[in-house]
Amino acid sequence: MSADFTIPDGYYPPFARVTDQDHTAWIIISTTIGLALTLLFGGIRIFIRKQVHPPFGHDDSFCAIATLYAVVQAILTLLACDVGLGRARHLTSDIVLVTTQKLYYAATLLFVISLGLSKASVALFLLRIAPFNPQRRATQYIFGLIIIWTIVLFFCMALQCNLAQPWVIVDLSCSKKLLRWELLESLGCAFEVAFFGICLWLIWNIGAIRRSHKAAVVIMFAFRLPVIIFVTLRLRSYPASDEDPMLDMAEFNTWSQAELTYSLISSTILIMRPFISNLVISYGGHGSTVKDRKPSVPDLDAYQLQLLQPTTSSTGTPPRKDS
């Protein structure tokens, strides 16, 4: 924007504006929108588990903790923006710059924890609905790998180049930081592909569900795949130099908020089919909730796949019918 920016009479100045030396607005917009969406979908998840399809499970607990960390992370990010994140170095004093780096450091660590917990909640949701042992065992392995991945990513970001002051990123060349993000985020993307693959594997072995219902389940899990797009955009926006990281990493931080937000809301999208079905049934009147209606077998709207039987067993033979 031009330097002679003027405010018309009767208008308040903008909360933030983008200039060549100030990209704070990008981070503020992505963080506030992300925070609003995170709280909205968190409320939807609570409503679903209380009114539509109870009870609460371990997947809901992990998602709730991830949401809590994401809220604190967003607050710290906004505080960092208020004191200097997204601005050129010469616009902030040395004392304020130290505070900005510490806030950004704490926000990054909370970002890692929240992202890992959101992925773990998806694995726990798969365990909740998967009735067959091969799929359950594979999901358990993935859950364990996600926990290890989160711990490794946390320490990689916590213990950066300057171990004495790990929050320092200004006047510090750390060439391996992007490589760490690339390697670990690649594994994170592999988890998303694995979730979708297990979903297909699970649905393929069920013969008691119509194709349209199978497609609905697959589509819900497919909503996780765009996380890979946000990861790609985030890594591509990483600055090529460390000359002015507070300013140059504004776009990277913007995509970081987008990735975390979508990872959280897509975890709730997985359980929204009964919620949407209930809205359609109840629209325009006083309809009953899913828990008020007698369950059917299979109750696909509630993802009751554990009530079903596979078309073939893990050994390839037809399942034995109970007498």
Q: What is the pLDDT of residue 274?
A: 63
Instruction: Work out the mean pLDDT of the chain and round it to a whole number.
Output: 83
Minimum mean pLDDT range among 5-14, 173-182, 196-205: 5-14
Q: 47: closest CA among 36, 58, 56? A: 56
Position 212 confidence tier, pLDDT thresholds 50, 70, 90: confident
Residue 294 scores a pLDDT above 70: no
Residue 196 lies in a domain: yes
What is the pLDDT averaged over residues 39-45?
95
DSSP class of 43: H
Q: Which amino acid is at 56?
A: F
Q: What is the pLDDT of residue 4?
A: 61
Residue 323 lies in a domain: no
Report the sign of the C-alpha dihedral through residues 259, 186, 157, 162, in that order. negative
Residue 286 lies in a domain: no
- CATH number, domain of 143, equals 1.20.1070
Residue 225 lies in a domain: yes
What does R_g of the chain's alpha carbons equal in angstroms?
A: 23
Residue 150 lies in a domain: yes
Report the sign of the C-alpha dihedral through residues 223, 30, 87, 20, in that order. positive
Residue 320 lies in a domain: no
Residue 292 lies in a domain: no
CB 77 within 8 A of CB 85: yes
Q: Which two tokens stand for residue 291?
A: 């828990």
| Contacts for 256 with CB less than 8 Å, ≥ 6 apart | 111, 234
Torsion of CA 228, 232, 237, 242, to 10 degrees: 100
Between residues 322 and 182, the one the model is more confident about: 182
Residue 312: phi and psi, rounded to 5, are -140, 155
* Domain count along the chain: 1
3-state secondary structure of 289: coil
Q: Is the peptide bond before 54 cis (omega within 30 degrees of 0)?
A: no
Q: What is the pLDDT of residue 275?
A: 58
Residue 308 scores a pLDDT above 50: no
Residue 253 lies in a domain: yes
| Contacts for 237 with CB less than 8 Å, ≥ 6 apart | 251, 252, 254, 255
Q: What is the pLDDT of residues 146-184, one digit of tens each?
A: 999 999 999 999 988 788 888 988 877 776 888 899 999
Q: Which two tokens stand for residue 153?
A: 């990513």
Residue 19: phi and psi, rounded to 5, are -130, 180
**For residue 158, what are the domain limits?**
24-275
3-state secondary structure of 301: helix
Q: What is the pLDDT of residue 160?
A: 82
d(CA 130, CA 132): 6
DSSP class of 287: P
Q: What is the pLDDT of residues 52-76, one digit of tens each?
A: 777 889 999 999 999 999 999 999 9
DSSP labels, 188-247: HHHHHHHHHHHHHHHHHTB-SS-HHHHHHHHHHHHTTTHHHHHHHHHHHTS-S--SSHHH
Q: What is the pLDDT of residue 286?
A: 46
Q: 289: closest CA among 301, 304, 305? A: 301
